[in-house]
Copies of this chain bind each other. A is one copy, B any other.
Amino acid sequence: MGAMSNVERAVSALRQMIFAGELPPGSDHLETELAEKLGMSRTPVREAALMLQAQGLVEMRPRRGIRISPVSAEDMAEIYDILTELESLAAARAAEAQYSKADLATLATAIRDMDAALGADDLRAWAEADDRFHRELVRLGRNARLSMVVSVMRDQVRRARATTLFMRPKPKQSNEDHRVVYQAIARGDAQTAHDTHHAHRQAARDMLVALLEKHQFHGL
Chain A positions within 8 Å of B, measured between CB atoms, are 46-47, 50-51, 54-56, 75, 78-79, 81-82, 85-86, 88-89, 93, 143-146, 149, 153
A47 nearest CB neighbor, chain B only = B50
Which residue of B78, B85, B89, B153 contacts A144 across the interface (Cβ within 8 Å)? Answer: B78
Which residue of B51, B78, B86 contacts A85 across the interface (Cβ within 8 Å)? Answer: B86
Which residue of B51, B86, B146 contacts A54 across the interface (Cβ within 8 Å)? Answer: B51
A84 nearest CB neighbor, chain B only = B89
Judge whether B143 and A78 touch: CB under 8 Å.
yes
- Extra contacts besides A85-B85, A85-B89 (14): CB < 8 Å: A47-B47, A50-B51, A54-B54, A54-B55, A56-B145, A78-B143, A78-B144, A81-B89, A81-B146, A82-B86, A82-B145, A82-B149, A86-B86, A149-B149
For residue A148, give the distance in angstroms from its CB to the closest CB of chain B.
8
A75 nearest CB neighbor, chain B only = B145
Instruction: List chain B residues, Cβ under 8 A from A78.
Output: 143-146
Instruction: List chain B residues, Cβ under 8 A from A88.
Output: 85
Instruction: List chain B residues, Cβ under 8 A from A79.
Output: 145
